[in-house]
Structures are given as structure tokens and as C-alpha cells.
Structure 1
Amino acid sequence: MTALRLALGELRRMTAGTLPKLAILALSLVPLLYGAVYLYANWDPYGNLDGVKAALVVEDDGADTADGRLDVGATVRESLLEDGTFDWKLVDSADAADRGVKDGTYDFALTIPEDFSAGLASTSDLGSARQASLHVTTNDANNYLLSSIVDKLTASIHDSVATEVGEETANRLLTGFSTVHGQLERAANGAGQLADGAASADSGAAELTTGLGTLSAGAKELVSGQEQLVAGANQLSAGAGGLSTGANQLSSGAAGLSSGLAQLSSSTALLPQQTQQLADGARQVAAGTAGLESALTASADASRQGVTDAVTRLIQQGVLTPEQAGALQQELAAAPSGATGLEQLQTLADGAAAVSAGADQLAASAPQLTSGIAAANDGAAQVSGGAAELSAGAAELSSGAAGLAGGEQQALDGSRELAAGADSAAAGAGTLREGLGQLRDGSAELSQQLKNGAGNVPNPNEEERATASTVIADPLTVSTVNQAEAGSYGAGLAPYFLVLAMWVGIFMLAQALRPISRRALASNAPAWKIALGGWLPFLAVSLVQATVLYAVVCVGLGLDPVHPVLAWGLLLMASMAFSALVQGLVALLGSVGKFAVLVLLVLQLVSSGGTFPWQTIPAPLHLAHDALPMGYMVTGLRQLLYGGDLSQVTAVAVGLLGYTAAGLLLSLLAARRHRLWTLKTLQPEIDI
């Protein structure tokens, strides 16, 4: 008896009547009912949210801003109604909406409060900025998962509104940056001008310092000159007093001189006449002496009496004075006679001639002398008057000189104060120059730093502001590259429910098919044939189950595998492994084996990672994921359905072959064990 004949015999037994045939058909459709119907019900739940009734309350009053009217609440309302994700119902008040959620009229409620726009607009005033808020009312008694869906909705609204408002706020901020940039540039220019002015002031301070040094030196020279001037003024005052005294004396002397000159003028009034007479007498003397010289020449021996007579006549004529005549006679008496007398007489004649000539000159000059004396008299009178006036002026000069000396002393004191002030000013000018130098350097540094600061402050144009506003409002953009995309919620759950349905379907086969034929056990067939013959009916039906399920999901629900043939082949391999495991466990353990299959189902439900990643399950369940086949099948189907890494599929296929071998080994052990019949075999305690 071959294993195939054993399998066909079991199948004929199961299809011997109408009801058995229907039972086989029903068992073939169990995975379809479990997997396909569930996937159908959950194929695209997010695409059918328009049947969820949601209350929408818009109480937003809007807000006035510098850029115009802001009415974000109305914008959100129009956006939600136009999107149509939910069946939105406009409700007048938040209280009515909350009551509707509580009694089940609405699944949830969204309220936009009256200060919504005002809160969003408050960002323009940093002192009163506040967050705008949305109010969501949910009720887990209506549906638990709906709260998660609503959270995603509100998050979407939040992101959309935040981005829009953020762009506007960022635009204002960037516009402010442009303003700040311009102001900093103007400030930098002003600081540059200040630096230039400080440099000019520093140069002027240098000149001022030099000038004040010169002023200080000049002030000291002024003090020295003032001291000399004070000394001179004191001397002038003393000299003016002496001048006044001398002028008085001069006035007195000039008056006396005038009086004397008047007398002299009176005395010399006859001088011209007298001098003329003297000239005439001198000529007569000259003539007489000439005659006397002739007489003496004619007679050297003439008597001295004749000389005496001649002298007497000269006295009488007024030519000689008695004294002159006496002296002449004495000389004549003492003189030797002869030639010596003649020589003396010649001398006298020459003198008389000279006297006559001088007398003529005196007579000629006498009128001028008389006029000069008269003029001198007039001048002396004038000198006397001028001396009187000089005396009065000298008195005034003395008084003025005394006042000048006092004023010069005050000027000296002022000059000394000026010198001290000039020294202080020179020192202050030095300090000023030092400060101006610091001001120059500091203003130059300020100008440079302001220019640097202006360069660091953004100055975007309109296009750059628009781009930057978008970036600031939403700085993160997520570029998602889905290497293997499911396409829909149902497609994402398909690997999990296909594999789960296959296990459940094969588990249901164990309720109708015998894992090992008792007829085969009673025969002499080898144990491996008995084991193989018991597994092949399970395999045949499970292959049908897998094919029908896969076809309905692909054609009926629209699953579009990237590798459809390979995916079908992997499902067939799963049917082979699952059927071997289920048949082997039930064959070996009987009713306990069915319970073990159920336990394995539960363990694989929670550890296969069909919904949440298996890494999120508790650590003790990780062992179940690593040891049982359903998790590997979910991974393998995902790669084939969505277009993932085919190398993982190879490992899954090898693993399925291993699970198949393990199931067949259990079936072989069962065939060998059940060859020995016992009372418990004929009458089991539990026969499920």
C-alpha cells in the first residue's frame, strides 16, 4: 500500500456522500471567510471616514492686524468642508456639540474658539503673544480608535495653520531684519562720519594743544612784560612828579629869563648906534696910527712928547680909553727907540684897523642881535607860559602815572591768572586730545563693527523673504522614500491575515480529517508511508484553501502583488509547512495536539508582527517570534507583495521546508507510536 493510495482512500472516505463533500468545500473556504472577509472589511477604513459624523463649531470672531483682517476660523471651516474627510455638521455652540458627542449623535466634535484668530495674530506683539487653541471632544465609548484618527486630523490642522501663520510671522520678522539692516548701515555711516569728525577734532585738539602751549608761553612773557610795565609805570609816576617840580622851576626860571631879556633888550636898544660909533672911532684910530707911523718913520728921533700928544688926541677923540692910552704910553716908554717903536706903532695901526673892521661887523650885526634879544624875550615869555602848562600837565601826568601803575598791577595780577589758566587749558587740551584719540579709535571700531553687524543681519528681498518665511514656518521637510509600499491599509494587513487565515483553515481541517488512517496502522505498511499518507490529504485541501484565498484577495479586493507568482508559491509552501505541523501534532498528541495547535495560533497572533513591529512586544514573547513560522511568513509575503528584498524570501522558503520536515517527523513518530493498540486507543478519554 503506497502513501498516495492511503491519502486517496482518506479523501474518498471524506467525500463518500453529499454532506462530506459540502464539509470539504466548507473547510476549503474557511481561510477565505476568515482572511478575505476581514481584509474586505478593513481594506480602506481611512477612505471611508466620510461616514463618521463630526460636529464643527466655529466661534472665531477674527482679528484686525496691521496687514488687514485675519479670519483663520472661517478658513479652517471652509478647508474642512471642502476636504470632506468626515461628515461635518455645523453646530451653533460648543455645548450642543458636546451633548451630541455624549449621546452618540456625533462621533466627535471640533470647536474653534472665539479668540482663535486673535491668538494667532498676537505674535505681532511679543509682550502679549499667546497660543491659539482648538478644542476637540471625543468619547471612547463611541469608538476607541477614532480618538487616534481625530488626533491625526487635529495635528494636520495644527500643522497647516501653524505653517500659514508662521510664514506670515516670519515674513514680518524678516522684513524687520531688512529694516534693522538698513538702520545698521545708516548707523555705520554715522559712526564713520563720527570717526572722521573725531579725527578732525583730534587734529584740531593737537593744534589747540600747540596753540595753548604758545598761549601759556606768551602769558608768561606777558606776566614778565607786565612786571616791567608796572616797574616802568612806578618810575613814570615818580618821574612825572619830578617833571612837575622841574616844570614849576622852569616856569619860574623862564619868567626870570623873560624879565632879564626884557632888560637886555632895553639895554641893547642903542647898541647898533654905539657899535657904528665904535667902528668910526676904530677907523679914526687906524688913520691916526697910520699918520703916527708916518711921523715916526719920518723922524725916528721925534720926541716922545709928540707921541703923548697924539695919544692925548686919541683919548679926546674917544678912540682910546684912558686905560688903553696909559698902557700904550707905558709900552712906549719901556720900548726902545727907533725901529722897535715903529714896529709897535705898526702893530697898533694894524690892531686899530682890525678893530675898525670888527666894529663895522659888530655895527652890522647889532640890529640882528637886538632883534634876537627881542625874539628871545618873546620866546622866554612863551617858555614861561609853556612851562606853566607843562607844570599843570606834569601834575596830571603824575596823577595818571599813579593810576597807570595801579592798573598795571591789576593787569599783572590778571596776566598771572591768565598764565595759570593757560597752563590748565594746555593740560586740559592734552587730556582732550587723548580723549579725542580714543573717541576716534572707538568710533572707527564702532563703524567697522556696525558694518560687520549690518553684514550679519539678513537683508532678504521679497523672493528671499517668501522662501525663508516658508522655511522658518516649516523648517523640516520629510522626503520619504518607501522602498516597498503597501498602497492601502488592507494591503498592509494582507500578509498577516493571509498567513493567519491559512493556519486557522488548516486547524479546521484537523476537525474533519483523520491525521492518521487506522486502516493504514492496521496494515503492514511502513511508518513513513502511513505518516505521508496521513499528511497528503491535509496538504491537498490546504493548497486549495491557499489558492482560493489568494485569488479572491487579488481579484476581488484589488491586492496587486509586485511578485504575484512568487507570492502564490510562498503561500503554497506555507500550506505545506502549516499542514505538516498541524497534522503531525494532532497525529502524535490527538486531542491534546489540537489544543497545542490552538495555543500556537494564539502565540503567533501576538508575536508575528503582523500589526505593530514585533520588536514592540514584551521580551518573553520574542522567543515565540523566533521559533514559530507565522512571523517569517509575514516577513516573506511583505517582500513579495510590496517589492522588497528577495534574499529574505529565500531564507523564509528554507525555513518553511524545515518546518515541513519537523511536521513530517512528528507524523512519523505518531505512526510508529500508534501501531501498538491499547484500550485507550479504542476508547479515548477525549475524542474531539
Structure 2
Amino acid sequence: MTVLRLARSELKRMTAGLLPKLTILALVMVPLLYGAVYLYANWDPYGKLNQIDAALVVEDSGATSTDGTRLEAGKKVAESLTDGHVFNWQTVSGSEQADQGVSTGKYAFALKIPKDFSANLVSPGSFDAANQAMLNVTTNDANNYLLSTIVDKLTTAVHTTVATEVGEETANQLLTGFGTIHSQMLKASDGAGKLADGVATVHDGTVTLHQGTGELKDGAADLYNGQLKLRDGANSLSTGASQLSAGLTQLQDKTATLPADSQRLADGAAQVAAGNAALNTQVQGLAGQLAASDQAAAQAQRSRIVASNSRLVSAGAITPAQADAILADFDANPAPSAAAGPAASLKTAAAQIQQLADGSAAVSAGAAKLAAAGPALSGAVAQAASGADRLDGGAAALAAGQQSALDGAGKLSQGAGKLDEGAAQLEGGAATASDGARTLAGELASGAGKVPNPDDAQKDSLARVMADPVAVSNVSQAKAGSYGAGLAPFFLTLALWIGVFMLIQAMRPVTQRALASNAPAWKIAVGGWLPFLAVAAVQASLLTLVVDVGLGLNPAHPLLMWVLMLAAAMAFSAIIQGVVALLGSPGKLVVLILLVLQLVSSGGTFPWQTTPEPLHVVHQLLPMGYVVSGMRHLIYGADLTSIPPTMLGLLGYTLLGTAMSTMAVRKHKYWTLKTLKPEIAV
């Protein structure tokens, strides 16, 4: 008996009547019922979210930013959500009404934009009252658990969009502030330069001031020294004034009789002057007479000399020239007469008497004036004595005042010294301030160069980057076109296993007729497996066709996907047929357990690495995980280097199933009482 004859015999038995044919047809349709229908129901659930009613509560009252811009973020978010039609948004007037609707299931969830939403968005413009803007979401897992996850993604997207938009505006204002700071720093630098010039001028003034205070200090010292001398002089003046007052008092006492004495003196001087005048008149007359007598005598003698000279010239005793010389000598030195001595004495006495007369007259006049001035002189002496008394008092007061002035001059000198020291410190401080102002101007200019001053285009670009600094460049090497396409590898593989598992409920893994034959065990095993393979291949082909054409899966490698589906059907049918053939009815439970283990370890939904560690071993041992991975590569167009090892692995699982089936044939060649009457039959 050949392998094909064994397989054909089993297939003929399964298709002998209408009911068996319907059974085979139903078994062929099982993968479609599980895989295709499930994928159809969940092919694009995100595209139908607009059929879900969601409450939208907008309580935002808007706000005005620091630059005067009006922000109505709540209304803007609501309009964006409504226009997006992601959900069937229902505008609700109040939070309580929305929460009640979520509680009763009228709304799947509620999104509430509070009153201070816009105000909190613009609050970062004030350092004193920055608050986060809140979006309040009310969900109810009793409505749907996965819906909460979807809503979280939606609110995250809304949060990101609003935060980016507001952050861009805030960043733009910040960058504008930088530009303002830059320009103000430049102005401050210019101002600091002017300040430096002013401080330099101040420094020059402090130098002049220091020089002036130095001179003031020297002048104050000189003033003190002069005041000291003035005090000493005032003391001396006071002493002298006291002495003068005493002397004038004595003088006043001594000159009390001066008017009367001077009058008597004037009278006596007048009498003396009159006597001297009379005497002078007499003496002058007598002197005149004597002079006339002498002149006549001299003329007579000259006449005699002239006569004598004539006689002598005539006699020849002398020459005329000698005669003229004798006459000239006589004229120059006349000979004294007998009365020449008394006359000369009288003449001299007359001159003296004349002087005496003149002097006595002058004395008389002076005495008269003195007598006339005596009373005035006496009054003046009295006044001088009185003035001397006052001078004495004033000099004493002056001496006392000069001591106070001296003390003041001393304090002035000390103050001038301190002022000079302060001026010196001020000069040094002004020099330091001048250097500091220059440094400040330079640093401000340098700092202004380091402060950004972006133009409008740069601000827009930088604001976008600052508001959303991280951009994700998502390069998808292989991408599922829809939610259904994302689940297809798992559910197609799972549907194949369930389809073969359902075959074992109606088809016999090994027929009794085959066991009774003399055919080799491996032929019987393969002959029992081939009917499973044939139906499983039809299941795989029909499922592939419906999913590709009916649902629009559009795999990147449709032919290779079909081949992998056939290889999976081959491996699954061999393992299931082999396990049930070897273990009998308990083997069906083992197949179910293998199904459960592969459900949780194949990585059909979440990555298999996220499962507990023991399930990692299950993933490595059982075939469904490899099929799921291979289907993803073929459907999404990923790298195909893993496909050949997957195909070889499925071939290995097929050989393993065949080996178990062969072992079952050898085991069941020998009938026992349990064979005729099993303990349990499923």
C-alpha cells in the first residue's frame, strides 16, 4: 500500500457523503472565521473613531499676554478638535453634565478645557506667577479599556501641539527680548563711554581740587600763623593802649594850665619882639651912618691913589699899566679905615639884632598862635585821653576776639588738612572710577556683541526650534498600512493552527485499516498526515486569497507569503497530527496547551521580549513565533534573509511531526485492551 493510496483512502472516506463534504468545507472555513473575520472587524478601527461620541467642555475665558496679544487657546483647541473629526465631539455646557454623560455611557469620555487655560499658557511671561495649563480628561474603563489609551494619545498630541505653538510664541518674545537687551547694552555701552569721559573730567577736576585744597591747607596754615601774630599784636596793642591811656591822662593833667601859660608866653613874646624891633631900628640907623662914613673915606683915598699914580706915571717911576694894577688892587682890597673895625662889628651886630627882631617877632606870632590854640590843644588832649581809654577797651576786646579767631584759624587749618586728604582720596577714587568706567564701557560693548540680536527670519527659525527642540525623523524600514495589517501576521498564523486543530476533531490521524496493513510505519504515518496537509493547504490558500484580495492586505511579497503560509500549514499539520497520533485523545489537550503557550510567547501583539523569562524559552522552541516573524517580513517588505532559515525550521518541525506519527504507528501496531476500548474518546 503506497502513501498516496493511504491518503486518498482517508480523503474518500471524508467526502463519501454530503455531510462529510460539508464538514470538510466547514473545516476549511475555520481559519477564515477566525482570522479573516477578526481582521475584517479590526482592519481600521482608528479610522472609525469619529463614530464615538465624546464630550467637549470649553470654559476658557481667554487671556492677554505681556505684549498685549489676545490669546483664546481654549476656543482654538476646540475648533482644531472639531475640524479634525477624530471623534464625534459633542459640545457640552458644563463639567458636571459631561461627567454624568461619561458615567452613563452617553459619552465615551470627556475633554474639559478649564477657565484659566489661556491665562496659564501666557503665565510664563511673568516670573512671579507661572502655572501649567491643564487639560482635564474624564474616562471610564467600563465604556472601553483601550479607549483610555487612545484618548491619552489624543490628549498628548493636543498637549504637544498647544505647547509647541505657545512655546514658539514665548521663544519669539524671548528672542525679541534678546534683541532689546542687545540694543540696550549698546546704548548702555555708549552711556558708559560718556560716563567714562565724564568721570575722566571729574578726575581732572579732582586733580585741580586737590591742588586747590593743598593751597587752601597752606593758606590756612599761613592764616593760622598770621592770626597768631595778629593775636600777639592785639595783645601788644592792648598793652600799648593801656599805657597810652595812662600817659594821655597824665598829659591831660599836665596841660590843664597850658592855655593860660601860653597866653602869658604870647604876651611876653610880644613885648620882647617890640623891644627887639626898637633896638633893631636904632642899631640899623647907626650902622648906616657908619657905612656912609666909610664909603666917603674910601672914595677920598682912591682919589689920592689916582692922583699919586698920575704923578708917578708922569715922573716915570711907574708905567700906566702898573698904575692901573695898583688902582685895581685897591678896588679889590680897599684899605680899612680907622672906623672899619667898629663899623664891621656894628654891622654884624645889626644883622644879629635884625635876626633877633625877626625871631622874636616870629616867637611872638607863634606864642600868639600857641595861646590861641591852647584851649583846642587842651580839648584835643582830653579827647585823646578819652579815645585812649576807648582804644584800651577795644584793644582788650580785640585781643580776646583774636584768641577766638586764632582757635577758629587752627580748626580751619586742621579742616583744610583733612579736606586735602579727602581730595587726595577723591582724586585716587576718581582715577579708579575712570578706569572702571572705561572697563565697563568696553565690557558692555563686548557683552553686547555676545548677546544674540536675531532678525525676524532668525527669530522665527530659532523660536520653532526652541519650542520643539527635538524632532523625530522616523525612518520606517517596513511599515504596516493599517491596524489590521499590523495584526495580520499573528492572526493568520493563529488561524492556521486553529484550522488544523479543528481538522483533528473530524479526521483520524492514523486509520485502523492502515495499521492493519503490512506497509512500513513511515508510509502509514505519512499517509495519515497527507490528508491533513491537503486540507490545511486549502485553508492556507483560501485564507491568503481572502485577506489579500478581500481585505486589501497588499503584501510586499504575495507569492512568498503564500509559500510561507503553505509551509506553516505543513509544519502545523505534521505536529498536530503527530502529537494526536502518538498520544491519542490526550494529545488534543496537548495541542490546545501548545496553542495557548504560542499565543502568549509568539510576540503577535507585544514584543516577545516583554514576556516573562520562561516564555522566552517557549518562543525559541515552538514554531508559531518564527512564522509570525517571517510573515511580517514578507507582508511589510522587510529584509528577507530570515526567510530561508524559517523555511528550514518549518521543514524541521514537519519532520518532527512525521517522526512522532511514525512512532505512533509503531506503537499502535500492537493492539491492547485499551486499543479496543479506550478509557476516553474525544
Please confirm whether the aligned pair reaches a TM-score higher than 0.5, indicating the same fold.
yes
2:10 alignment counterpart: 10
1:50 alignment counterpart: 50
2:162 aligned with 1:161? yes
The CA distance in 2 between the partners of 1:348 and 1:494, in whole Å, is 195
After TM superposition, list the pairs within 5 Å mapping 1:7-156 onto structure 2.
Answer: 7-63=7-63, 67=68, 69-156=70-157
The CA distance in 2 between the partners of 1:421 and 1:239, in whole Å, is 35
The CA distance in 2 between the partners of 1:277 and 1:239, in whole Å, is 59
1:606 alignment counterpart: 600
The CA distance in 2 between the partners of 1:255 and 1:446, in whole Å, is 94
2:431 aligned with 1:428? no
Query: Taking structure 1 as the reference length, what is the TM-score of the superposition?
Result: 0.79
Deviations 1:264-296 (A, max 9, x none): 7545535764664465366478679989999xx
CA pair 389-497 structure 1, distance change in 2 beyond 3 A: farther
The CA distance in 1 between the partners of 2:49 and 2:172, in whole Å, is 36
Per-residue deviation at 1:64? 5.5
2:274 aligned with 1:280? no
The CA distance in 2 between the partners of 1:615 and 1:650, in whole Å, is 23
The CA distance in 2 between the partners of 1:382 and 1:237, in whole Å, is 35
- What SS does the corresponding residue of 1:57 show, helix, strand or coil? strand
Query: Which consecutive residues of structure 2, in runs of 5 or more, have no partner in the other structure?
Result: 303-334
The CA distance in 1 between the partners of 2:672 and 2:567, in whole Å, is 36
The CA distance in 1 between the partners of 2:477 and 2:368, in whole Å, is 146
The CA distance in 2 between the partners of 1:661 and 1:471, in whole Å, is 60
Deviations 1:427-450 (A, max 9, x none): 333444455456556655665666
Q: Conserved in 2, the CA contact under 8 Å of 1:275 and 1:366?
A: no
The CA distance in 1 between the partners of 2:643 and 2:433, in whole Å, is 80
- What SS does the corresponding residue of 2:588 show, helix, strand or coil? helix
1:545 alignment counterpart: 539
The CA distance in 2 between the partners of 1:271 and 1:220, in whole Å, is 74
CA pair 255-39 structure 1, distance change in 2 beyond 3 A: farther
2:219 aligned with 1:211? no
Per-residue deviation at 1:602? 0.6
2:624 aligned with 1:627? no
* Residue range with higher mean Cα deviation, 377-386 or 391-400: 377-386
Query: Which consecutive residues of structure 1, in runs of 5 or more, have no partner in the other structure?
Result: 295-344
Q: Conserved in 1, the CA contact under 8 Å of 2:276 and 2:353?
A: no
Per-residue deviation at 1:205? 3.1
2:305 alignment counterpart: none
2:330 alignment counterpart: none
For this pair of structures, how many residues does the alignment match? 640
1:334 alignment counterpart: none
- What SS does the corresponding residue of 1:647 show, helix, strand or coil? coil
CA pair 287-558 structure 1, distance change in 2 beyond 3 A: same
CA pair 354-240 structure 1, distance change in 2 beyond 3 A: farther
1:576 alignment counterpart: 570
1:593 alignment counterpart: 587
The CA distance in 2 between the partners of 1:485 and 1:397, in whole Å, is 131
- What SS does the corresponding residue of 1:156 show, helix, strand or coil? helix
Per-residue deviation at 1:381? 8.0
1:642 alignment counterpart: 636
Per-residue deviation at 1:502? 1.4
CA pair 225-139 structure 1, distance change in 2 beyond 3 A: closer
After TM superposition, list the pairs within 5 Å mapping 1:215-294 onto structure 2.
Answer: 215-236=216-237, 245=247, 265-266=273-274, 268-269=276-277, 273=281, 276-277=284-285, 279-280=287-288, 283=291
- What SS does the corresponding residue of 2:671 show, helix, strand or coil? coil
CA pair 250-201 structure 1, distance change in 2 beyond 3 A: farther
The CA distance in 2 between the partners of 1:475 and 1:142, in whole Å, is 37
Query: Counterpart amino acid of 2:14?
Result: M
Per-residue deviation at 1:499? 1.1
Per-residue deviation at 1:456? 6.0
Q: Conserved in 2, the CA contact under 8 Å of 1:178 and 1:460?
A: yes
Per-residue deviation at 1:674? 2.7
1:513 alignment counterpart: 507
CA pair 130-523 structure 1, distance change in 2 beyond 3 A: same
Per-residue deviation at 1:20? 3.2
- What SS does the corresponding residue of 1:212 show, helix, strand or coil? helix
Per-residue deviation at 1:26? 2.9
CA pair 222-63 structure 1, distance change in 2 beyond 3 A: closer
Per-residue deviation at 1:13? 3.4
Per-residue deviation at 1:347? 11
Q: Conserved in 2, the CA contact under 8 Å of 1:285 and 1:352?
A: no
Q: Conserved in 1, the CA contact under 8 Å of 2:139 and 2:148?
A: yes
- What SS does the corresponding residue of 2:111 show, helix, strand or coil? strand
After TM superposition, list the pairs within 5 Å mapping 1:399-418 onto structure 2.
Answer: 399-400=390-391, 402=395, 404-418=398-412
Structure 2 residue corresponding to 1:492, chosen from 465, 486, 493: 486
1:341 alignment counterpart: none
CA pair 258-240 structure 1, distance change in 2 beyond 3 A: farther
Structure 1 residue corresponding to 2:660, chosen from 666, 669, 681: 666
The CA distance in 2 between the partners of 1:517 and 1:258, in whole Å, is 200
CA pair 284-528 structure 1, distance change in 2 beyond 3 A: same
Per-residue deviation at 1:112? 3.4
The CA distance in 2 between the partners of 1:676 and 1:41, in whole Å, is 50
* Residue range with higher mean Cα deviation, 252-261 or 397-406: 252-261
Per-residue deviation at 1:539? 2.5
Per-residue deviation at 1:492? 0.7
* Residue range with higher mean Cα deviation, 404-413 or 205-214: 404-413
Query: Counterpart amino acid of 2:569?
Result: S
Per-residue deviation at 1:460? 4.6
The CA distance in 1 between the partners of 2:32 and 2:647, in whole Å, is 23
Deviations 1:18-43 (A, max 9, x none): 43333333323322221111111111
CA pair 99-412 structure 1, distance change in 2 beyond 3 A: closer
Query: Taking structure 2 as the reference length, what is the TM-score of the superposition?
Result: 0.80
The CA distance in 2 between the partners of 1:201 and 1:371, in whole Å, is 83
Per-residue deviation at 1:370? 8.1
Deviations 1:541-588 (A, max 9, x none): 322222221222111111122233332322222222222222221222
Q: Conserved in 2, the CA contact under 8 Å of 1:289 and 1:349?
A: no
Identity %: 53
2:310 alignment counterpart: none
CA pair 432-596 structure 1, distance change in 2 beyond 3 A: same
After TM superposition, list the pairs within 5 Å mapping 1:313-462 onto structure 2.
Answer: 392=383, 396=387, 399-400=390-391, 402=395, 404-436=398-430, 439-440=433-434, 459-462=453-456
Query: Counterpart amino acid of 1:205?
Result: T
The CA distance in 2 between the partners of 1:498 and 1:414, in whole Å, is 117
CA pair 103-221 structure 1, distance change in 2 beyond 3 A: closer
